[in-house]
Structure 1
Amino acid sequence: MIPLRLIIQNFRAIEHADIDLSAVSLAAIAGRNGAGKSSAFTLAPRFALFGDVINGVSMDNLVRRGAQEMSVEFQFEHQGSLFRAIRTRSTKGKGKSTLELQERVGDKWESRSAEKITDTEAVIRNLLNLDDETFTASSMILQGQANAFTGATAGKRKEILSQILGLNVYELLQERARQRANLLNIEIEKTKDKILTLDERLSHLPNKEDELRSLEELNAFTQKQLADKESSVRELEAKVTLLDNKQARCRQIDQDVQVIDQETASLQNERADLQARLERVEKILAHESEILAKSVELEAVKETMTSLEARKPELERLRRDLAATEADLHQMDEGLIKLAERINILKLQLADREKIKQEADEYERESGRLREYEEKAERWNLLEAELGSLDAQHAGELLRLDTEERRLKEKIAALEEQEAHIHDSGCLPTCRFQQAAAVAVAELPGLRRSLAELDCSAANALADLIAEKRREQQEIDHDPEEFRVCKAKVVALQAAANAYAQLAGKEELLQQLEQQHEEKLARKENSSIRRNDLHKQLTILQAALSPVPELQARADSLQPWAELKDSIGAARESSTNARERINAIDREISGKQEHRGNLLAERGGLELDVLKYDAINLDLSTTRDALKHLRRQLATQAEQIGGIKAVLAALDADQQERGRLAAELEPKALRWTRYQTLIKAFGRDGIPAIIIENAVPQLERIANEILGQMSKGKHYVRFETQRELKSRDGVAETLDIMIGDWTAERPYETFSGGEQLRIDYAIRFALAELLAQRAGSKVEWLTIDEGLGSQDAEHRSLVLDSIKSVADRFKRVLVITHIEDAQAAFDQVIRFENADGGVEVHVD
């Protein structure tokens, strides 16, 4: 990875910065404290790539104070391609974050982001093959964290070194090999189980073949018996068919006799109905005169009821009008009560008229006084603001005069001291020192005149103007307490003034309400008269309609007689028809009785022929049962033969399947053995252990080159990767750091702070170079943040020389420092200068 550009908006103390690193190789980063150097070069790239990178600090706290939106864009080159990561944060509402990863393709940026931020961060980690901790520990030496690697535990050191060397890929490869071996083992076991199952099935093959031959012989014998029984059944069926026809004729005769009996009974019932009808019509004809008289009376009753029914709508109308009049009277009573209440309220309000008027007059007087107070307060406040401005101008002028006077006095004192040295030095006039002193002496008179003639007129004029304004303010005679009391009194009298303004309208309203009350009383009287009149009409009409129920009852009793009037003519005709139909029925019954006798005689002759039917039918049933049994036996035998043949076909397929499975088992077992070898090779004691053992000497070599240069050959570093166990025999994996000098070796932790810092730098530079040499994750960037302050001048020079010596191994080496002589040691200096709230970056 090579950094190319940083574009920062509202990130921590930086409002805006656009930093182009494309032309930078080895540079110092300079600027005042708080300008944003560390934020730009250590936090901003990590934030853009990995997100929440500061422990204990939320992303909202990274947004510059006073702003609500922040963004960091980090452009870099990786494996020959250009990428940029853009991360934003907004504190509006519930807060919102975004992350976009893009790749430069031609002249356009194409997205490589996932749907979620966490998934996009995973894409970045996979692209770089680094997480934030390994990236920072290997390519950045942060302020106060130079010992991030050396100060870690032995296990943590080994973990960081493993990630730098990319050994985590072997864990993935081992896991994949283990998964594939497990899947293959499952397939092998399943194949073995299938072969055992197939062997068990194939053990039954000889028995099934013998069973098939026996069943085929039995099936042939059963088919011969079936043919004999079928011939016997056909002979018996012919005899039974003949007897069935004779029995069918007997049953038909029985049905015909039954039909004759039913028809005879039906005719007899019809004759009885006709006889009863004849008796009824003769009764109607006997009461003919009475029926006609009752019909005439019913017509008279209906005519009277019709005239009375015509008056019922009038009765309903009177009831509706009476109900409406009653409702109007009730509504009028409620309205009169409400009007009386409002009239009483208005009269009570108008009774306090004089008191309200007095309070309203007082309100007008106090309002006038309040306006005067407000005018005075406004003038007083304007003068107070003007005095504040004049006081600030006066203080500034005094400060300027004091500063100028002090400057002149200090310069005069220095020149006077230089003048005194002229007389005591004993130097020749041609001496450069004497010449410079002479120039200074010549300048003294002018400075003394400037001090004596220092212009104080502007300050005096401002003082006079301030005094004049204060006198003018005192003449206003503004009393804040009286102003407050007057204002409170006006507020208290406001309600009375408003009430008095409304009194004229309330008097007019009282007159209107009293007039409305009188009008409602008049309308109520008229409605009462109408109600009495309607009640009287209703009583008269109800009396006139009272006979209606009695007339209705009489009409109901006469209605049956009137209905018989229309049936007198039909009764005469029905009497004649009934007598004729009775005679015809008697003749038809006599003919049916004769036919019935003939049918019974024929049936008696057929009964003698069908006496043998039951015996022959029993023989047929027995023979058929035997035939069915033989057919079931034949079907069962055919089913058994088919089943055995299916079993034999399945066993043949099983035998072929067993051969195929046995052929597949051997190569699967060979592949499983190879996967076991890979699992062991990818394990901690396999290839990763070999790589670490080979990488540690390279790390020692690079670190010793740098450390020897820093310590003038005094110190060297050695890594121990194994340690003897104390509790039992054997060794444990570790990564201890041993430092040697001219006397002996001892652990890193026993050295002084300055010595540890140089050791930290040497190892961190070596780690950075080792990381830069990695295939697939080449980080060619080294940042050192304020790491020179604890070194003396001699060792600082050694550290700077070491930094320069490793610079050609990286594309970018950036050193953040506030020490000027350290900045001067670099050909390139990136200067941070604050301008208009943003940051201007200059590369010298």
Structure 2
Amino acid sequence: MIPQRLTLRNFLSYREAILDFQGLHTACVCGSNGAGKSSLLEAISWVLWGESRATSEDDVIHLGSKEAQVEFIFQMHQQTYRVLRTRQRGQGVSLEFQIMQGSSFRSLTAKGIRSTQQLILTHLKLDYETFVNSAYLRQGRADEFMLKRPADRKQILADLLKLHQYDELSEQAKDKSRQFKGQVELLERQLDAIREQLHQRDAIAQERAELETVLEQMQAQQSANHHQLQQFQAVQHQRQTWQQQLTWQQQQQRNLNQDCQRLQKERSQTDGQRQTLEYLLQQESRIIAGYQHWKALQAQEELFSAKFQSHQVAQSQRQQFEQHYSEKLQQLQNQLQKVQAQEITLQEQLQELQKSLSKEADVESAIGQLTSARQELQKLDQLQLQASPLLQRKQQIQQKLDRSFTRLSARLEELRTSARQLQTQQQRQPSLKKAAVEVAVKIDELEKLRAYQDQVRDKGLERRSFMEQLQAHQRNYEAQLAEIDHKIRMLEQERAAAITEEVEGTTIVQIKQLEFPPCPLCDRPLDEHHWRLVLEKQQAQKEEILSEIWVIREQLTTSEREIQVLREEYTKIEQRLAQYGDTLERRGQLQEQLQNTAEVQEQLTQLNSEAIKLEAQLKTRAFEPELHEELNILDRSLQQLNYDERDHALARGSVDRWRWAEIRQAEIKQAKRRQANILHRQPTLKTQIEQLEQHCDRLNADLERGLQQYDRQIQEIGYNLEQHNAIRSALRQAQPWQLRYQELQQAQQQYPQVQHRLHELTHTLQTRYNDLQTITHHCQELIHALEKTPDLSTHIQALEQQIQQHRTKLDQHLAKLGRLQQQQQQQELLSQQFEEVNSQLKTARQQCRVYQELTQAFGKNGIQALMIENILPQLEATTNQILSRLSANQLHVQFVTQRNRKSKTAKAMETLDILIADAYGTRPYETYSGGEAFRVNFAIRLALARLLAQRSGTALQMLIVDEGFSNQDQEGCDRLIAAINAISSEFACILIITHMPHFREAFQARIEIAKHQNGSELTLCL
């Protein structure tokens, strides 16, 4: 990642800042403490990963602002990218990711912040933790690795290398192993349960056969019972039919009785209604007369209601007319009052203006004073224009002289410090010479010991070669011995066969007549004597070979003891020679230090001479003579101009003091204009007042005439409220005749219908009496038939209970048979399940073993330990390479991963010790000075940075060093600068953050940061 441009807006201490990295290779970011140096680089981590040192997300927003925004353009793998991150206070974050195509950027932003962030990580191939531990050496974390306990450093290194993922894999494998172990136990229990169930297969088959026989017998008995029940049910069904018919006929009989009673009652009610209608028809003439009187009263009431409506309309119009004219009159009176108030206000304003116009003479006098003061100020302003460049130049020269004085003072202090250091080095020369002699003697002894070690090694190789020859001879003799044993066994077997043949009945004569048996070694005939000779010869050769083998084994044992002694001697020598390399390095360091001390006196003389010269220049201020001469010329020029800043200030004060006259003059002019305007408006207002008064009089006259006209119209209507109320009362009293007239009309319509209904009811009642007699006769016949047929319900119920009991038992047996059939099917399924579970059990056991092995492999003592062991040599080599540049080959580190325990039989203890050696030997980290410790920390951190960058799969092209260098002396600072310059070719951009002047002057490119009232600001100096 190569930065190109960084733009900040309202981020931490910055309001607006743009940093262009193009053309920057190695630059120093300098400024006072708290100016915002680290904040500038925190912006890079925030825009790329959303991470910063702020505890809250809103803390990155500049105080008083609502939004923070950072834009970062960088180059990666020959591609240019732009990332834009914005944070609004109290709201969310927006993130944009773009790539340059041609002369413009194309968006790569995904849906959502997480997706876009993951896309950025994919292109960078660098996460935040790797960045802060590699490319970004953050402030205050240089010694974090060294200050940890040795046992904890290994864990820190594992965290930096992100080996925790293997712990997660180990835990996952362990969980999987537990799961499969539990699955194995569960499957084993299932297999045991299935075996127990499979043992019941034969018993279930026998029980099923017995149950099927019982079911056949019960089904035959059940069929006979069903046949008898059907016969009983047929007889009982006929009897129930007659019983139902009897019940229906009796119900019909009851219904007819009720119907006759109802018809008789309805006939009586209809006859009463007929009599009522006849009485109402007899009063027809009287009802019609009352109804005619009610209609006449209703016509009179309608006439009075119409007059009432006209009277109400006239009254309403009169009120509206009166209200309209009253409102218009009120408006005119309001206008009249308003105009009269304006006339009074104008009169009061005219009096106030007259007071202001009375001060016109005093204002004119003050205007003259103001004009004189302005003329004087104008003359002094012209002098200021001439003197201002001279004063600015004088101030610039004075600042340059002050900076030169500060720079020379700092240089003088540096010279004095260097002189003291050189004096200290010169005082160490005798001890260095003595140490060099001791180291030379020690090297001579070690070289002799090394030659002796070569002799021991050659002797060991010689004995090893001799042992190999003995082992070859031993193998040869053992082969010969095996061959002889084989021959002896063949001879003994041949002899045993001949004896067996004799025992089986062969006579001596027959044996003599046979030929001698052949020799098993050469196939020639072999008699008893020669057989013994051959056997003795073979046994003698065997004894001789055994003797040789014993001698060889003795020689091998002796050689093994000699090699063991030589090996122990070689190990002791190797342990003593382990310090040979350190001693050679120590001799080189001492020689270099002695060579440096020879140059110390000359350097000390030069430094003292330069310090005396600088001290004299500072006392007499004899530096920058051109600037001093120019300063004197400027002083003389200012004296000739005779310009005094105090006179200029007094002139400004005089102008400000008389400036009120202009304001008063403008007020008087405004008062005159207002006075003329008021005098012009007064006649108009008086005319308006007269017109409004006349208009009010006319409206009052029109109102009076209109009201009189409406009163005459109301009298012409002639409405009388008392007469209207009397007619209403009479109409209410005659209202019942209207109801009686309506009843008369209904009676005239209903009387023929009632007579017809009475005739129908009489005929229907006679018909119902005839039907009742017929039903009564039919019921008597059904009762006689039921008495002849017996009731079989008790027998049927008993037989049904018996059938139900048999059915229950039969169902139980059928259910049991079904269960047995299901159990047999279940047995078949269990047999298949047994095979499946057994197969699953084998698979689960295999998976359990696999995950147990993976748990060990991913654990602390597996892949993680192997990776750390492989990485540490590379880390150690890189650290020593950097440290040699920082300390002039004076410091050397070694990483030790195992430490012997106090008990000799115990295994070595896992650790991560860091041994630091200097010119005086190996010492603990805490005994080194702050400067030396910082160099070691810096070298280890830089080596870790390279290692982490390589593991992330990307080249480390950018390096940011945000560490304090104040604990370094002059020589240490020079070496740090030299080391940074030496490694600068490996990076595309290096940024060093410091507030030390010496570091600032050491780099040509500087980014100077200063904090003002409006926030931090940066300046790029090339």
Same fold (TM > 0.5): yes
Task: Work out the CA distance in 1 between the residues paired with 2:15 and 2:346.
Answer: 71
Amino acid at match of 2:235: K
Displacement of 1:306 = 1.6
User: Are the aligned partners of 1:322 and 1:534 in contact in 2 as well (CA < 8 Å)?
Assistant: no
Contact 2:930 2:968 in 1 (8 A): no
One-letter identity of the residue aligned with 2:304: R
Structure 2 counterpart of 1:170: 166
Q: 2:303 aligns with which of 290, 310, 316?
A: 310
1:240 equivalent to 2:257? Answer no
Distance between the aligned counterparts of 1:561 and 1:97, measured in 2? 92
* Equivalent runs, 1:85-100 vs 2, <5 Å: 86-89=83-86, 98-100=94-96
1:696 and 2:693 correspond:
no
Residue in 2 that maps onto 1:650: 826
1:439-588 map, 5 Å: 479-480=658-659, 507=686, 510-511=689-690, 514-515=693-694, 517-518=696-697, 521-522=700-701, 525=704, 529=708, 540-553=719-732, 555-559=734-738, 562=741, 581=759, 585=762
Q: Bigger CA drift: 492-501 or 481-490? A: 492-501
Give how far 1:764 is off.
4.0
Are the structure 2 counterparts of residues 553 and 470 from structure 1 closer, same or farther at C-alpha, using a change threshold of 3 Å?
closer
Matched-pair contact (CA < 8 Å) for 1:14–1:839: no
Equivalent residue pairs, number: 776
Q: CA deviation at 1:464?
A: 10
SS in 2 for 1:615: coil
> For 1:543-567, what per-residue CA distance to the aligned partner results, in whole angstroms no more than 9, with x for missing partners?
3334433543464343466457768
Letter in 2 for 1:305: Q
Structure 2 letter corresponding to 1:659: E
Moved more, 712-721 or 252-261: 252-261
1:665 pairs with one of 841, 850, 856:
841
Corresponding residue number in structure 1 for 2:74 = 74
Structure-2 residue corresponding to 1:438: none
Asked if structure 1 preserves the Cα contact closer than 8 Å seen for 2:367 and 2:661, the reply is: no
Shift in CA distance, 573/491, structure 1 to aligned 2, threshold 3 Å: same
1:565 to 1:140, Cα distance in 2 relative to 1, 3 A: closer
Deviations 1:554-597 (A, max 9, x none): 64343466457768987997899799x49x947x7667656654
What CA distance in whole angstroms lies between the structure 1 residues aligned with 2:770 and 2:98?
Answer: 117
Q: Which residue of 2 aligns with 1:6?
A: 4
Deviations 1:617-659 (A, max 9, x none): 4433443444444444444443443344334433432342233
What RMSD over aligned residues (CA atoms) do the two structures have, in Å?
6.1
Letter in 2 for 1:233: L
Aligned mate of 1:738, from 915, 918, 931: 915
The equivalent of 2:579 in structure 1 is none
How is 1:195-210 mapped onto 2 (pairs within 5 angstroms)?
195=191, 198=194
Report how far residue 699 of structure 1 moved: 3.2
User: Deviation at 1:477?
Assistant: 11
Query: Structure 2: how far apart are the matches of 1:470 and 1:477?
Result: 11
Map 1:12-31 onto structure 2 (within 5 A). 15-20=17-22, 28-29=26-27
Q: Which amino acid aligns with 1:76?
A: M
Change (3 A) 1:37 1:786: farther
**1:319 aligned to 2:309?**
no
Structure 2 Cα separation of the partners of residues 713 and 471 of structure 1: 72
Change (3 A) 1:298 1:833: closer
Partner-residue secondary structure (3-state), 1:545: helix
1:231 and 2:227 matched: yes
Quote the residue 2:177 is aligned against: 181
AA aligned opposite 1:86: V
Structure 1 residues 61, 620: CA separation in 2 closer, same or farther (over 3 Å shift)?
A: closer
Query: 2 CA distance for matches of 1:560 and 1:520?
Result: 59
Give the secondary structure class of the aligned counterpart of 2:860.
coil
Mean Cα displacement is larger for which, 198-207 or 679-688?
198-207
- Say if 2:350 and 2:678, in contact at 8 Å, map to a contact too: no
Task: Structure 1 unaligned segments of length 5 or more: list them.
Answer: 408-446
- Whether contact under 8 Å (1:138, 1:768) holds in the other structure is yes
State the Cα deviation string for residues 668-723 of structure 1 (Å, max 9, x = none): 12322332232233222333234334433443344344545654544322334467
Say which is worse superposed, 339-348 or 486-495, in terms of deviation. Answer: 486-495
8 A Cα contact 1:390 1:466, kept in partner: no
- CA shift, 1:309, in A, is 1.4
- In the TM superposition, 1:676-825 aligns within 5 A as 676-708=852-884, 711-721=887-897, 734-771=911-948, 774=951, 776=953, 779=956, 782=959, 810=986, 812=988, 814=990
Contact 1:298 1:562 in 2 (8 A): yes
Contact 1:390–1:462 at 8 Å: present in 2 too?
A: yes
* Pair 1:222 & 2:243 matched: no
Read off the aligned partner of 2:787 and give its amino acid letter. Answer: L
Conserved? CA contact 1:343–1:510, under 8 Å: yes
Distance 1:777 1:543, change over 3 A: same
- Aligned partner of 2:785 among 595, 609, 618: 609
- For residue 675 of structure 1, the aligned residue among 844, 851, 855 is 851
Percent identity over the alignment? 20
Secondary structure of 2:920's counterpart equals coil
Instruction: Output one character per residue of 1:586-614: Cα deviation in whole Å (capped at 9) or x when no partner.
Output: 7x766765665455345434422211546
Please tell me whether the aligned partners of residues 201 and 651 of structure 1 are also in contact (alpha carbons under 8 angstroms). Answer: yes
Distance in 1 separating the partners of 2:797 and 2:693 = 118
Q: 1:708 to 1:31 in 2, by over 3 A?
A: closer
SS at match of 2:131: helix
Distance 1:566 1:783 in 2: 119
Cα contact 1:130–1:163 (8 A) shared by 2: no
Q: Distance in 2 between matches of 1:402 and 1:267?
A: 139
Range with greater deviation from structure 2 (762-771 or 474-483): 474-483
What is the TM-score when the length of structure 1 is the normalising length? Answer: 0.70
* Conserved 8 A contact 1:7-1:19: yes
2:74 match: secondary structure: strand
CA displacement at 1:391 relative to structure 2 = 0.7
| Gap regions ≥5 residues in structure 2 | 401-625, 1010-1016
Cα deviation, residue 393, structure 1: 2.5
Q: Distance in 1 between matches of 2:367 and 2:213?
A: 135
Give the Cα separation in 2 of the matches to 1:477 and 1:590: 137
Q: Name the CA distance, whole Å, in 1 between partners of 2:99 and 2:54.
A: 30
* Counterparts of 2:862 and 2:742, CA distance in 1: 123
Could you tell which deviates more after superposition, 694-703 or 520-529?
520-529
Contact 1:37 1:816 in 2 (8 A): no
Shift of 1:302: 1.6
Structure 1 residue 312, shift from structure 2 partner: 1.0
> For residue 422 of structure 1, what is the aligned residue in structure 2?
none
In the TM superposition, residue 664 of structure 1 has moved relative to its aligned partner by 1.2
Does the Cα contact within 8 Å between 2:67 and 2:87 map onto a contact in 1?
Answer: no
- Shift in Å, 1:13: 10
Give the conservation status (yes or no) of the 8 Å contact 1:114–1:120.
yes
What's the CA shift string for 1:49-74, capped at 9, x where partnerless? 444445689875789x9998542222
Partners of 2:54 and 2:753 in 1: CA distance: 120
Who is 1:423 aligned against?
none
CA contact (8 A) 1:707 1:715 kept: yes
**Deviation of residue 150 (structure 1)?**
4.1
2:799 paired residue number? 623
| CA contact 1:710–1:802 (8 Å) conserved in 2 | yes
1:708 to 1:320, Cα distance in 2 relative to 1, 3 A: same
Q: Which amino acid aligns with 1:545?
A: H
Measured in 2, the distance between the counterparts of 1:269 and 1:803 equals: 132
Structure possessing the higher relative contact order (Cα contacts under 8 Å, 6 or more residues apart): 2
Q: Compared with structure 1, are the counterparts of its residues 533 and 148 closer, same or farther at alpha carbon in structure 2 (3 Å cutoff)?
A: same
Tell me which protein shows more helix as a share of its residues. Answer: 2
**In 1, are the aligned partners of 2:383 and 2:643 still within 8 Å (CA)?**
no
- One of 349, 355, 364 as aligned partner of 1:362: 355
Measured at CA, do residues 489 and 622 of structure 1 come closer, stay the same or move farther in structure 2, by a change above 3 Å?
farther
Asked whether the 8 Å contact 2:280–2:744 carries over to 1, the reply is: no
